[in-house]
Amino acid sequence: PVQVHRIIAEGTVEDRIARLLERKRALADAVLAGGESALTELTDAELAELVALRPATGSTR
């Protein structure tokens, strides 16, 4: 038998990763639904955020 305990806490690395994955999933869904033209409609800031490894300064997400 195996017991698994899942600790849920805010502000952890896992919490930040989960939020990042949610944002990227929503962006991917929007791009796939809009076709290639959706990529050309992104602003420079949105494109930079898409490829950024860290959240933008001042970002509340």
Kindly state the tokens that stand for 1: 């038998």
Q: CA separation (Å) from 48 to 43, 44, 52, 54?
A: 9, 6, 6, 11
What value does the mean pLDDT take over residues 22-48? 75
CA-CA-CA-CA torsion for 17, 20, 26, 28, nearest 10 degrees?
Answer: -90
pTM here? 0.45
CA distance 45 to 53: 14
Q: Whose structure tokens read 């989960």?
A: 18
Average confidence score pLDDT of the chain: 76
What value does the mean pLDDT take over residues 30-47? 72
Q: State whether residue 41 is helix, strand or coil.
A: coil
